[in-house]
Chains A and B, each alone.
Chain A
Amino acid sequence: MRALRFLVWKEFLQIVRDKATLAQMLMVPIVQLLVLSNAATFSIQETSVAVVDQDRTTSSVALADRLTGGRQFSVERVTASPNEAERDLVEGRASMILHIPPRFEEELVRDRRAQVQLSLNAEEGAVAGLVGGYAQAIIADFARDRSATIRAGGMEVRPRAWFNATRNYKHYMVPAILVSLITIIGTLVTAQNVARERELGTLEQLNVTPLTKTQFIAGKLIPAWIAGLVIFAVGLAVGKLLFGIPIRGPVWVVMVGAGIYLTVALGIGLFVSTITRTQQQTMFVSFFLLMIYLLMSGMFTPIESMPSWAQMVGAATPVRHFVWVMRAVLVRGAGFETVWPMLAGLGVAGLAVLALAVRLYNKTSG
């Protein structure tokens, strides 16, 4: 036990003294949190629209004005020629075409229903979905004011955002970014520290001491675990103070969740260290694994738009479940009684990953 205490103490000394590690562990998360949560938003701004107005009435002009009245859309061109608008779309000048057919106003007044067509550049599926959603909402709004129904894209839209009524995507993204950060920190700190000892040759020196591999591993994992939790707490505070993310549920539940979830990250880190020899290799392999792991988790892209095999992989990644816990507690205000089955599942997954990594590690010599 005394040896273990010294191991942990030594690890902290090294972390504090190594400026690169310290920066990596403190500055990088904060900067990433600030940059990413401002950049990685799902809200749209100034999407350019080509309006094909074949009606040319007050109603059609009013609809176009309504669409472009907010900050979400700006008009690239108003034309009567569908071909011209299509060219705008193809050549990238516009991301969406609003096509108002002839006799739009007439139908609107006579039948209280009319049709318009939205054509979207769907190169980026998620963006197209968002743009379409916004446009439909605005069109539906317009229709309501006219006590009429306008069918856009063949679909009637009645959006209503729960829990995040203003649809502030920071509330959605910040928890996810926090999770990705502690995943990266937990994985990298563990993997790097083991790789560094190997590179330094101190691992060889330690291997001829009575120190067991279990003690050595524990000495590596405990500091990384504590560092991860501290960074998580700091990140949560930054999120609250700077971005005003809601913390509706009990904080201790997310902290416990982070503690459990970190075992997964540590396990991955230890696993990486068993298959690499140098710090450089460790960096590459870690990033490779983390990219897959984080992208498949549905944190940044909706799982629903992935192929089914990827959805299955995504569903199996613990990161996804922890993001779910985070959002449930922070945004929805769920308590322990709601999320404990997920936490228990995470705990099992974490222990499994960690146990596997320790087993693999024990098989490697030095």
Chain B
Amino acid sequence: MTGLADAAVWASALTKRFASTLAVDHVDFRVEPGELFGFIGPDGAGKSTLFRLLVTLYTPDEGEARVLGLDPVKDLWRLRRKIGYMPGRFSLYPDLSVAENLSFYASVFGTTVERQMATIEPIYRQLAPFAGRRASALSGGMKQKLALCCALVHDPEILFLDEPTTGVDAVSRREFWDLLARLREGGLTIVVSTPYMDEASRCDRVALIQHGRILRIDTPDAVCAAYPLPLLGVRGVDRLGMLDAMRMHPHAESVWPFGASLHFTDRRAGADPRQLASELREWLAARNIEVEVTPIDPTIEDAFMLLMSQQERAEVAAP
């Protein structure tokens, strides 16, 4: 690992309290230049607060952070020129047109849309047909693209996107991530947060965050590969009955509903998954529940659910 001075972002014991709540709890991480770094966690995990600390909107109660080598508390004015930030909520002017929103944000940074066209061109090309339309009349996906465009219009060195795809349809989400991938290829450092686990695989590295704490930082593949226990996918008709029954299983570590199936984690590490699968099927059949059980590869979400439940158990054990 290189020295701190080379990091695009680093944080050390960064902490933010609201009354008695620890929104961000002694967080340590670093983001390398040119990296697409994702914070993955449920709503209320502290992602937005962490972002606001990094983009100079909040001051930390403890710890410190550097963004592009600048302190968000002391060097905020220099830093603000260099970062692009897209807040979690759509925050452009609904009564201004696409073109007006863009030129407004450009002017705020003392530049013009024309001068920055090279930076925003890939996105702007998709927006251009709607240039005269009011922002309020755009579709959700287009709104996000406009917001991204506005965040990029001053040619920032780093981009902070707080839940950019929340409330956007699946196709637009994929398009949006394609855009991020292109920007990353252009050398831009991107820090993004999302509650959607499936988006984690598009990041270079992800940090799993819960209750203001980072549970794990790694590449998406490594997070999945590090899943320590056998994982089984269970399909059947009576999902609720299956869920109740499986939670009573003597070797159940966890059972989670997962799309159309249920994911069952067996506590016996190192056991043969196929053996366990047939065992589970028979165990359920003995309870008059007919199911299909197959060993599956863990996803980020599985890894995250396991880490979360382990952390919660640890918190209960040692508050």
A316 at interface, CB cutoff 8 A: no
CB contacts (< 8 Å) of B80 on chain A: these are 208-210
For the complex, is A3 an interface residue (Cβ under 8 Å from B)?
yes
Bound-state CA distance A207–B72 (Å) is: 13
Interface centre among B83, B92, B110, B150, by most chain A C-beta atoms within 10 angstroms, is B110
Is B268 an interface position by the 8 A CB rule? no
B93 engages A208 (CB within 8 Å): no
Residue B81 lies at the interface, judged by CB distance under 8 Å to chain A: yes
Can you name 27 A-B residue pairings with CB atoms under 8 Å?
Answer: A3-B108, A3-B109, A3-B110, A6-B107, A7-B108, A10-B93, A13-B95, A13-B96, A14-B93, A18-B95, A200-B91, A200-B92, A200-B93, A201-B90, A201-B91, A202-B92, A202-B93, A204-B57, A205-B92, A205-B150, A206-B108, A208-B80, A208-B85, A210-B109, A210-B110, A365-B57, A366-B57
- Report A162-221 residues with CB < 8 Å from chain B CB: 200-202, 204-211
Of A7, A205, A207, the most chain B CB neighbours within 10 A belong to A205
Complex A-B, nearest 10 residue pairs according to Cβ-Cβ distance, in ascending order? A201-B91, A6-B107, A201-B89, A205-B91, A208-B85, A17-B95, A209-B108, A202-B91, A208-B55, A204-B87
- Would you call A363 an interface residue if the criterion is a C-beta within 8 Å of the partner chain's C-beta atoms? no
CA distance A20 to B56 in the complex (A): 35
B83: contacting residue among A10, A202, A208, CB under 8 A: A208
Contact across chains for B56 and A208 when beta carbons are under 8 A apart: yes
Report the minimum CB–CB distance from A301 to chain B (whole Å).
Answer: 40
List the A residue with the shortest CB-CB distance to B86.
Answer: A205
Nearest chain A CB to B268 CB, angstrom units: 49
Known: A13-B100, A204-B57. A210 touches B95 (CB 8 A): no
Q: In this assembly, does B258 line the interface, its C-beta being within 8 Å of a C-beta of chain A?
A: no
* B69-98 contacts to A (CB < 8 Å): 77, 80-81, 83, 85, 87, 89-96
Q: Is the Cβ of A14 less than 8 Å from the Cβ of B104?
A: no
B105 within 8 A of A: yes
Q: How far is the CA of A2 from the CA of B104 in the complex (A)?
A: 11
* Residues in A whose Cβ lies below 8 Å from that of B83: 208
**Apart from A6-B103, A13-B95, A205-B87, what 14 extra A-B contacts exist at CB < 8 Å?**
A2-B107, A2-B110, A3-B108, A3-B110, A10-B100, A13-B96, A202-B91, A204-B87, A205-B92, A207-B56, A209-B108, A210-B81, A210-B110, A211-B108
Within 8 Å CB of B108, what residues of A?
Answer: 3, 6-7, 206, 209-211
Query: Chain A's nearest CB lies how many Å from the CB of B103?
Result: 8
Please name all residues of chain A whose beta carbon is closer than 8 Å to the beta carbon of B57 when the two chains form the complex.
Answer: 204, 207-208, 365-366
B residues contacting A by CB (< 8 A) are 55-58, 77, 80-81, 83, 85, 87, 89-96, 100, 103-105, 107-110, 134, 150
Chain B nearest CB from A317 CB (Å) reads: 35
The A contact surface, by secondary structure, is helix
Residue of B nearest to A10 (CB): B104
Query: A202 CA to B87 CA in the complex, in Å?
Result: 9
Considering the complex, give the chain A residue whose CB is closest to the CB of B93. Answer: A202
Q: How far is the CA of A250 from the CA of B60 in the complex (A)?
A: 58
Listed in ascending order, the chain A residues whose CB lies under 8 Å from chain B are 2-3, 5-7, 10, 13-14, 17-18, 200-202, 204-211, 365-366
A17 contacts which chain B residues (CB < 8 A)? 95-96, 134
Residue of B nearest to A202 (CB): B91
* A204 neighbours in B (Cβ, 8 Å): 57, 87, 91
**Contact assessment for B87 and A14 in the assembled complex, using a CB-CB cutoff below 8 Å:** no
By beta carbon, the residue of chain A nearest B107 is A6
Instruction: Name A10's contact: one of B56, B96, B134 (CB within 8 Å).
Output: B96
Shortest CB distance A167–B (Å): 48
**Distance between A94 CB and nearest chain B CB, rounded to angstroms:** 57
Tell me the minimal C-beta distance from B202 to chain A in angstroms: 24
Q: Report Cα–Cα, A67/B55, bound state, in Å.
A: 78
Per the bound structure, the CA–CA distance linking A10 and B93 in Å amounts to 9
CA distance A17 to B137 in the complex (A): 14
In the complex, residue of chain B having the shortest beta-carbon distance to the beta carbon of A212:
B77
Determine the chain B residues whose CB is within 8 A of the CB of A3 once the complex forms: 107-110
**Beta-carbon contact of B85 and A205 below 8 Å:** yes
Q: Complex Cα distance A366/B52, Å?
A: 11
Residues of B within 8 A of A201 (CB): 87, 89-91
- Complex Cα distance A204/B94, Å? 15
Instruction: Give Cα distance in the complex from A325 to B12, angstroms.
Output: 62
Given the complex of chains A and B, what is the CA–CA distance between A179 and B100 in angstroms?
A: 35
Please tell me if the beta carbons of B107 and A14 are within 8 angstroms of each other in the complex. Answer: no
Query: A201 vs B125: C-alpha distance in the bound complex, in angstroms?
Result: 26
Return B137 CB to nearest CB of chain A, in Å. 12
- A209's closest neighbor in chain B, by CB? B108
**Are A14 and B92 also in contact (CB < 8 A) when A208-B57, A209-B108 are?**
no
Closest to B55 in A: A208
Cα–Cα, bound, A7→B90 (Å): 19
Q: How far is the CB of A362 from chain B (nearest CB, A)?
A: 14
Contacts of B134 in A (CB 8 A): 17
Of the candidates A6, A18, A208, the one having the most CB atoms from chain B within 10 angstroms of its own CB is: A208
Closest CB in chain A relative to B107 CB, distance in Å? 4
Distance between B132 CB and nearest chain A CB, rounded to angstroms:
13
**CB of B125, distance to nearest CB on chain A (Å):** 23
> For residue B109, which residues in chain A have a CB less than 8 angstroms away from its CB?
3, 209-210
